[in-house]
């Protein structure tokens, strides 16, 4: 089972809470690193908190072969600022997704370890589908592992 670390800025606060409720409803282990209200704040601060912990690979000790280790979800207004910031950290493969096909492919081919979403772009129904698919799609490995190692 994956431990999921989540954070947002003010632009992603509402969607972040919807994601937390959705994942807690599935019994998943999720930790919220803020922000905790809609007061204006800076997305790089929250990207750093989650990216450093995901890169560190903190594990909750339950390995099921699909969702092993730790993954992050970052939400801002567009999802773009969070993805730019998170991808500055070594070992992070943050994927900004606005559709379910990309969410699936970025797990299968890129072994994405942080999902970035934009509250002002993606409605919550679609966003929750993206989250579910991203969390439940395994990495294919093989030729894709070689390519990741080249990054």
Give contact residues for ligand RB5 (rule: CB under 6 A): 9, 11, 43, 76-78, 80-81
Look-up: residue for tokens 């994405």? Answer: 112
- CB of 94 vs ligand RB5, minimal distance in Å: 13
Residue placing its CB nearer to ligand RB5 in the complex, 33 or 43 = 43
- CB of 80 vs ligand RB5, minimal distance in Å: 5
CA 6, CA 11: separation in Å to the nearest integer? 14
Residue placing its CB nearer to ligand RB5 in the complex, 70 or 97 = 97
Residue placing its CB nearer to ligand RB5 in the complex, 47 or 131 = 47
Q: Is the peptide bond before 35 cis (omega within 30 degrees of 0)?
A: yes
Catalytic residues: 76, 109
Give CA separation, 67 vs 37, 72, 121, 134, 139, in Å: 30, 12, 27, 10, 10
């Amino acid at each position: 089972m994956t431990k999921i670390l989540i954070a947002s800025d003010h632009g992603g606060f509402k969607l972040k809470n919807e994601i937390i409720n959705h994942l807690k409803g599935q019994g998943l282990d999720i930790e919220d690193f803020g922000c905790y209200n809609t007061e204006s704040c800076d997305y790089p601060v929250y990207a750093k908190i989650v990216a450093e912990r995901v890169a560190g690979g903190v594990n909750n000790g339950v390995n099921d072969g699909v969702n092993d280790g730790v993954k992050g979800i970052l939400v801002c207004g567009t999802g773009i600022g969070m993805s730019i910031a998170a991808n500055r950290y070594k070992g992070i493969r943050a994927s900004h997704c606005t559709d379910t096909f990309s969410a699936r492919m970025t797990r299968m081919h890129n072994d994405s370890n942080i999902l970035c979403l934009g509250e002002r772009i993606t409605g919550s129904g679609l966003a929750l589908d993206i989250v579910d698919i991203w969390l439940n799609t395994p990495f294919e490995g093989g030729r894709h592992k070689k390519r990741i190692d080249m990054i």
